[in-house]
Chains A and B, each alone.
Chain A
Amino acid sequence: MTSADAPPHPAHRPSADAAPAPATPGKVAIWLFLATEIMFFTGLLGSYIVFRAGSPPTSYSNLYAPAAQLDRLKDARGVVLGAVGPDADGVAGAIASATGKGEAEVARILAAAPHGVVNGLDEKGAGELTAALGKLGAKAEAASLRTSNWPRPYDPLTNPLSIDLTTVNTFILICSSATMVLAVSAIQQGRKGRCSLFLLATLVLGGTFLGVQVFEYHELLEGRSYPIGISPTGHFTPEVSLFASCFFTVTGFHGLHVAAGVVTLAIVFLGSLLGRFSAQDFGAVEYAGLYWHFVDVVWILLFTIVYLI
Chain B
Amino acid sequence: MIVRRRPVFGLWISLALAAGCSDADLTGPLAYEEQPGMTREVDGKSHLADKPKIREKARAVLAKLYGPNPKEIHVPEGAPFSKDESGTVGGLLANHLRTAEGPKRLPHAGGFALYRRHCLHCHGLSGAGDGPTAPFVFPPPRDFRRGLYKFTSTPNGARPDRDDLRRTVRDGLHGTSMPAFEALLTKEEIEQVLDYVTFLSVRGETELALIEEGFIGDDEDPDALEDDVVADLTSAVFGKWEDAADKVVDPPVARTPSSPESVRRGRDLFLGRTKEKLECAGCHGVKGRGDGKSFVDPDVFNRVVFRGDPSKMAERVAQLDEPTQELWKQKLDEWGNPLRPANLTVPVYKGGRRPIDLYWRIAKGITGAQMPAHYPGIDHAQIWDIVNFVLALPYQPELLEEPGVAAEAEAVRR
Contact = CB atoms under 8 A, between A and B. Distances in A.
B401 A75 contact: yes
A141 B115 CA distance: 59
A75 to B, nearest CB: 6
Nearest to A122: B406
Contacts of B401: 75
Contacts of B298: 69, 72
A103 B343 contact: no
Nearest to B343: A72
Contacts of B132: none
A102 B293 contact: no
B413 to A, nearest CB: 13
B407 A124 contact: yes
Contact of B291 (A67, A72, A75, A104): A72
A68 B321 CA distance: 20
A7 to B, nearest CB: 51
A75 B401 CA distance: 9
Nearest to A102: B321
A100 B321 CA distance: 13
Interface string A116-128: 0000001111000
B352 to A, nearest CB: 22
A290 B345 CA distance: 60
A103 B321 contact: yes
Given A72-B345, A75-B401, A122-B406, A104 B299 contact: no
Contacts, number: 31
A65 B179 CA distance: 31
A27 to B, nearest CB: 48
B103 interface: no
Interface in A32-87: 67-69, 71-75
B347 to A, nearest CB: 12
B323 A68 contact: no
Contact of A74 (B299, B302, B323, B397): B397
Tier of interface size on chain B: 20 to 34
Contact of A102 (B324, B346, B407): B324
A102 B291 CA distance: 16
B374 interface: no
Contacts of B293: 100
A279 B346 CA distance: 75
Contacts of B345: 71-72
B404 interface: yes
Interface string B299-330: 10010000000000000000001011000000
Contacts of A72: 287, 289-291, 298, 343, 345
A74 B401 CA distance: 10
Interface in B385-414: 397, 401, 403-404, 406-407
Given A74-B397, A102-B321, A68 B407 contact: no
Contacts of A104: 321
A71 B346 contact: yes
A100 B295 CA distance: 12
B411 to A, nearest CB: 11
B302 A67 contact: yes
A102 B397 CA distance: 29
Contacts of B343: 72
Contacts of A69: 298, 302
A261 B377 CA distance: 75
Contacts of B302: 67, 69
A84 B27 CA distance: 70
Interface in B223-268: none
A125 B321 contact: no
Contacts of A100: 293
A125 B411 CA distance: 12
Contacts of B403: 123-124
Interface string A122-142: 111100000000000000000
Nearest to B293: A100
Contacts of A73: 289
B307 to A, nearest CB: 8
B404 A68 contact: no
A153 B406 CA distance: 40
A49 to B, nearest CB: 31
Nearest to B320: A102
By Cβ-Cβ distance, the 10 closest A-B pairs, closest first, are A72-B289, A124-B407, A102-B321, A122-B406, A100-B293, A75-B401, A68-B299, A72-B291, A104-B321, A72-B343
17 contacts: A67-B302, A69-B298, A69-B302, A71-B346, A72-B287, A72-B289, A72-B290, A72-B291, A72-B343, A73-B289, A74-B397, A102-B323, A102-B324, A104-B321, A124-B404, A124-B406, A124-B407
Interface of B: 287, 289-291, 293, 298-299, 302, 321, 323-324, 343, 345-346, 397, 401, 403-404, 406-407
